[in-house]
Structure 1
Amino acid sequence: MALALSPATPGLDLDPLAPPAGRGQPPAAARMTMGVEEEFLLVDRRTRAPVGRAPRVIESASRALGSLVQPELFTAQVETCTSPTASTAVLRAELAWLRAGLVRAAAAEDCLLVASGTAVIPPEPPLTVTPDERYRRMAVRFASAFGDYDQVVCGCHVHVGVASRAEALDLANRMRPWLPTLQAIAANSPFDRGRDTGQASWRAVQHARWPTVGPAPVLDEAAYERIAGDLVRCGALLDRRMIYWYARPSEHVPTLEIRVADVNASLDTVVLMAALVRGLAAVLGAEAYEGRPAPSLECGRLREAHRLAAVHGLGGEGLDPVGGARLPAWELVERLRERVAPGVCAAGDLPFVDGVLDRLRAEGDGAARQRAAHDRRGRLTDVVDGLARTTARA
């Protein structure tokens, strides 16, 4: 699903009070639009297993939420998207409103709305694909990615407004070293269908079964058009919407989309991701305007950084994909925070960002909180109930 995001207002520096600068200059952080897509699971109130009641839930919720709530690949999933905004406070309020509407609609169908990257308890019976022609074609052509129709994953995608596809691709090239750390912050899928996977983000592992999932190649606009066309013509993809790189230009709206995050029950973690992505885009956009080159990264090292982010989240070591050193995940977070600080500060988001990071350091990431809920009594139903309460608390 695409967000209806508008291009960001052009502007040169990171001063939120600065007037718009000339055409072709990078967007100021305070005016750069952002938006979020969230994918949720619907689970039965009694069994806590995923159930295919999304058509009825969406029909009910759409009376209030309109087209901002839509179906996803399986009938046990629902997806929301926000309107474009330059304000994290407005973004948070809209995300909370969307969640509240879905929670009410789900309750009417005897369901709980759950924000987890994977299903904690196995679905029973196997899931069904949403009755949409495109989804059905995907199910046939890419059957190996579906497994036994019981593997469902839910992500959170952050969009930032850009002036052109060329700008989106340039930002994607520059963001590559920082995306593993963003992935680690959002890790929220340690359990999958009744077992602890040993990973902080099992969604990242399962999602990689789909073609093109992974770090984006370094491309300019001409190379992107050539590769995107070739992938569809040779049958590797059904259409260009199936380009699932971790950072990609939207095919429908003028945005750069970042696709590394698990969906998170904690709404503040979701807004944190948006603030960090927007702040990073503002800083890197300013560097592009100054003519600084994008970093050169070794592909295997970058993939290892993403693998470690999926394994450990914030609870272990990560990899600096530029220097190659293995470092505590929190040291990499601190480096990211320092990198984005000018953009985050210019947008007025620094107190919020620091407050959420402090809570994550104290309480752990989503994966750690899921495991803590399980450790108290050894019950997976407690994990689901905790996720549902936190999802609804927004």
Structure 2
Amino acid sequence: MSHVVRDAAGSAGEREVDSALLTVGVEEEFLLVDPATGAAAEAVEAVLAEVPPELRGQVQHEFQTSQIEIGSPPGLQLEALSHSLGILRSGLSGAAERAGYRMLAVGTGPAGPDDDHSPRIVDNPRFHRMIERYGNVSPGPGYNGMHVHVGIPGPDIGVEVLNHLRPWLPVLHAATTNSPFYNGRDTGYASWRSVLWNRWPPVGPTPWLESHAHYLTLVDELIDSGMLLDSGMLYWYARLSSHLPTVEIRIGDVCLTIDDAVLIAALIRGLVSAALEDIEAGRPALPIDHHMLVAAHWRAAHDGLEGLACDLFDGGTHPAWQLVRRLFERIGPHLERHGDLETVSYLLGRLHTHGTGAARQRSVFNRTGEMSQVIDYLAVQTRG
């Protein structure tokens, strides 16, 4: 099915968007830990040296020496995405073990160290400038997220898509929660990473955007203010990629399992496809007040899917899974168009049965009373 997407002025554009041909790619950040203590370890160089040559083009440093990042190639099929993430996760887990460490798919360090003994940042001039600019906002074992890229036909359409995504992102935020523990303690949050990550000034909900020109103006103003070093530091929960023809969704903790990551990627692609259809039909995005977006994302980070969620459409608060079901109904035709409906139905069922990564970690700890058992569980689930 082709969508003739309207341009920013509202006239029919020349470009046609086949919503069944929206590519999707995933970036994942992982924590490297000492196998004896589970604490974050300054291990990235040792692990990179053990990465198989055929994977090195898809692996890189992250901000701290306790982190490592992978990126899948963009593609159309969820099966291919799952295969790619499986090869990368397995390859890096093996590299970490050969180097004497373990790799965990977790939002932040469940077993420390505390902020006074944080792993060093990677020796990169840009990272050093970030520390000089922002000061003591980054200590900790490392904050590990997942970024999903969905292909779009151009930036003018992209900013409209970003507006349409805003009310749905807290639901996805809740589904990705995977960091309940920090420095050996239960934080009371499903995503403690979200709390720590929000110490960085540029982090937050995407503002309402009038046009691509408005988007660029906002970025320039934030750079001029000193809040951003450059456009790459635009840490809005959804943005236009600075180097790819995609919208980039960056709300979540890194997912515990490959299946969780594939599910979130599919849901995001479905939402982008639905947004393109709305734009074609002239249906406007729902303007949401900034303070309510902040509240909805706070609730998502706190409760995950095991509690309540803010409904940005009716202003109420409901069980989180009620909003997940509504999201699924909203994008069902778009999942079917991509060939994703059966897979997403199955994976959502598993998520409902087993809970988010945060819920699963807590289940292990409640059963065993040992953080070491949580670390073991994370390592096994990460590899896939």
Q: TM-score, normalised by structure 1?
A: 0.92
Distance 1:345 1:240 in 2: 35
1:57 to partner: Cα distance:
1.1
8 A Cα contact 2:50 2:99, kept in partner: no
8 A Cα contact 2:111 2:371, kept in partner: yes
Per-residue CA distance 1:2-30 (angstroms, 9 max, x = gap): xxxxxxxx9329xxxxxxxx8423331x2
Instruction: Say whether 1:116 aligns with 2:142.
Output: no
The equivalent of 2:8 in structure 1 is: none
Per-residue CA distance 1:286-315 (angstroms, 9 max, x = gap): 110111111111221221111111110010
Distance 2:16 2:296 in 1: 32
The equivalent of 1:93 in structure 2 is: 83
8 A Cα contact 1:39 1:78, kept in partner: yes
Instruction: Say whether 1:246 aligns with 2:237.
Output: yes
Distance 2:92 2:178 in 1: 20
Amino acid at match of 2:322: E
The equivalent of 1:152 in structure 2 is: 142
The partner residue of 1:279 within 254, 270, 276 is 270
8 A Cα contact 1:26 1:289, kept in partner: no
Per-residue CA distance 1:139-167 (angstroms, 9 max, x = gap): 12111312xx3242100010101111112
What is the SS of the residue equivalent to 2:84?
Answer: helix
Amino acid at match of 2:373: D
8 A Cα contact 2:109 2:183, kept in partner: yes
Per-residue CA distance 1:264-283 (angstroms, 9 max, x = gap): 12110100011001111111
The equivalent of 1:171 in structure 2 is: 161
The partner residue of 1:59 within 49, 52, 55 is 49
Instruction: Say whether 1:26 aligns with 2:48.
Output: no
The partner residue of 1:131 within 123, 138, 146 is 123
Distance 2:59 2:141 in 1: 22
The equivalent of 2:304 in structure 1 is: 313
Per-residue CA distance 1:329-377 (angstroms, 9 max, x = gap): 0000000001111111111111111111111111111111000111112
The equivalent of 2:10 in structure 1 is: none
1:316 to partner: Cα distance:
0.5
Per-residue CA distance 1:22-49 (angstroms, 9 max, x = gap): 8423331x21001000000001111111
The equivalent of 1:17 in structure 2 is: none
1:129 to partner: Cα distance:
0.4
The partner residue of 1:376 within 364, 367, 382 is 367
Distance 1:365 1:164 in 2: 34
- Aligned pairs (5 A) from 1:336-351: 336-351=327-342
Distance 1:390 1:122 in 2: 20
8 A Cα contact 1:62 1:69, kept in partner: no
8 A Cα contact 1:313 1:365, kept in partner: yes
Which consecutive residues of structure 1, in runs of 5 or more, have no partner in the other structure? Answer: 1-9, 14-21
1:62 to partner: Cα distance:
5.6
Distance 1:234 1:325 in 2: 36
Distance 1:281 1:78 in 2: 28
Distance 2:324 2:76 in 1: 24
8 A Cα contact 1:308 1:318, kept in partner: yes
- Aligned pairs (5 A) from 1:137-286: 137-146=129-138, 149-219=139-209, 220-286=211-277
8 A Cα contact 2:63 2:127, kept in partner: yes
The partner residue of 1:362 within 353, 365, 369 is 353
The equivalent of 1:325 in structure 2 is: 316
Q: TM-score, normalised by structure 2?
A: 0.94
Sequence identity, in percent?
41
8 A Cα contact 2:31 2:103, kept in partner: yes
1:81 to partner: Cα distance:
0.5
What is the SS of the residue equivalent to 2:127?
Answer: helix
8 A Cα contact 1:39 1:79, kept in partner: yes
8 A Cα contact 1:26 1:282, kept in partner: no
Distance 1:27 1:199 in 2: 40
Distance 2:310 2:359 in 1: 20
The equivalent of 1:7 in structure 2 is: none
The equivalent of 1:74 in structure 2 is: 64
1:211 to partner: Cα distance:
1.5
Alignment RMSD = 1.6
8 A Cα contact 1:240 1:251, kept in partner: yes
8 A Cα contact 1:265 1:388, kept in partner: no
Amino acid at match of 1:292: R
Instruction: Say whether 1:293 aligns with 2:284.
Output: yes
Distance 1:231 1:55 in 2: 34
8 A Cα contact 1:188 1:367, kept in partner: yes
8 A Cα contact 2:208 2:287, kept in partner: no
The equivalent of 1:104 in structure 2 is: 94
The partner residue of 2:35 within 39, 45, 55 is 45
Per-residue CA distance 1:96-122 (angstroms, 9 max, x = gap): 011111011101111111000010001
Distance 1:143 1:164 in 2: 36
When structure 1 is superposed on structure 2, of 59-68 and 92-101 the one drifting more is: 59-68
Which consecutive residues of structure 2, in runs of 5 or more, have no partner in the other structure? Answer: 5-12
Q: CA distance change for structure 1 residues 45 and 151 in 2, over 3 Å: closer, same or farther?
A: closer
Amino acid at match of 2:352: R
Distance 1:59 1:172 in 2: 39
